[in-house]
Amino acid sequence: MRVVKAEEAAQPSPQTQVEMYRVLLTARMTDERCWLLNRGGQAPFVISCQGQEGAQVGSVFALDRTQDWFAPYYRDLGVVMALGMTPEDILKSVMGRAGDPNSGGRQMPSHFSSRRLRIISQGSAVATQVLHAVGAALAARTRGESALAIAYVGEGGTSQGDFHEALNFASVHRLPVIFMVENNSYAISVPQNLQMAITDVADRASGYGMPGVVVDGQDVLEVYRVTREAADRARAGEGPTLIEAKTHRLTSHSSDDDQRVYREAGELEKEAKDDVIPRFRRQLLETGMIDDKQEKAMRSEIDAIIDAATEAAENAPYPEPEDTFLNVYSEGPPFPEDLGGGPRMREPE
């Protein structure tokens, strides 16, 4: 595993590290709540961040949350929570409520979006967002801003043509982009060896003349450090970087999947032991940045927040059926049947 040289500068402050841990925990506990709701029949679909929060939170904290652009994918609950999404936002979306800030209950859960937070709306087709991040970076560069864009994608998504086209475009124009591949070694049931003939996705970087970095995605501070370095390069006009975070998918692909059908029990146990949360917790306790009591207090605080969020979401209204017609185009439909119009029901006179 190639590792770039350490830099003290790239160490978040103790208080920031505790903050990072709080986001990690909030994402994990919110995700766990979604599964509870799924079993309880209140959430038809769940797709998890569990196991990948380190790569997500570690990278966001290394960036400028006041101006940078984010194109996450469906696992990135840790990314959007680090940017300011709340458990209530998430639970409303899982329950398809009108108040879901991502889509007003239109998209499946975990299809994140927020213009305010510069989280680019994602559809379900994998890897399309990687090109959107490149375009956002192009716009920032055109206006001479120092903002960069980061795209998150799974290792399976790297097989799409759009991934190749995005890396190529960004490198030709030396755009301020970071490509963050969360390699959990599975695409639903397809293992990495059937997805690509290489061990490290980062090896693709040299084919675009950009640096490629492999980082242990379970090491939050390492992710922070390499992301910070990539960001510095990007802002200095030195172009894009491909970062591959080796990580684990601790749950089945989604609530519709059962990974025991295609994965060895041994592998699952091994990965569960490498969970980022206990690992970062240990780090914080050892360095004395937090103590056991504080950590327990933090958990119960978050629990309380999620309980309140669950109740708020449960009591939040659904969209009106007719809301189906809204926001197809900017203007109201001049031709109802054509611009977001309904099925024709009127009396043919």
Ligand X SMILES: Cc1ncc(C[n+]2csc(CCOP(=O)(O)OP(=O)(O)O)c2C)c(N)n1
Contacting residues toward a second copy, per CB under 8 A: 159-165, 168, 171-172, 174, 193-198, 203-210, 239
Question: Cβ distance 56 to 77 under 8 Å?
Answer: yes
Kindly name the residue from 106, 173, 253, 281 that is annotated as catalytic. Answer: 253
Contact residue for ligand X among 3, 36, 125, 194 (CB under 6 A): 125
Question: Cβ distance 163 to 157 under 8 Å?
Answer: yes
201 makes contact with another protein (CB under 8 A): no
Contact residue for Mg ion among 129, 158, 184, 255 (CB under 5 A): 184
Q: Could you give the CA distance from residue 189 to residue 201 in angstroms, rounded to a whole number?
A: 18
Residue with tokens 């399309």: 128
CB of 189 to another protein, least distance (A): 4
Kindly name the residue from 262, 263, 279, 281 that is annotated as catalytic. Answer: 262
Q: Could you give the CA distance from residue 33 to residue 141 in angstroms, rounded to a whole number?
A: 40
Q: Could you give the CA distance from residue 104 to residue 285 in angstroms, rounded to a whole number?
A: 40
Environment class of residue 109 by beta-carbon count within 10 Å: exposed (0-12), middle (13-18) or buried (19+)? buried
Integer-rounded Cα Rg, in Å, for the chain is 21
Taking CB under 5 A as the criterion, which residues in 88-127 touch Mg ion? none
Q: Determine whether 249 is an active site residue.
A: yes
CB of 158 to ligand X, least distance (A): 7
Is the C-alpha dihedral spanning 178, 183, 186, 191 positive or negative? positive
56 makes contact with Mg ion (CB under 5 A): no
Q: Determine whether 262 is an active site residue.
A: yes
154 makes contact with ligand X (CB under 6 A): yes
Taking CB under 8 A as the criterion, which residues in 64-103 touch another protein? 69, 71, 96-98, 101-103
Q: With respect to ligand X, which residue has the nearer C-beta, 124 or 287? A: 124
Helices (H), 98-160: 128-142
Taking CB under 8 A as the criterion, which residues in 253-312 touch another protein? 256-258, 261-262
Question: Cβ distance 60 to 70 under 8 Å?
Answer: yes
Catalytic residues: 249, 253, 262
Q: Interface with Mg ion by CB under 5 A: which residues?
A: 154-156, 184, 187
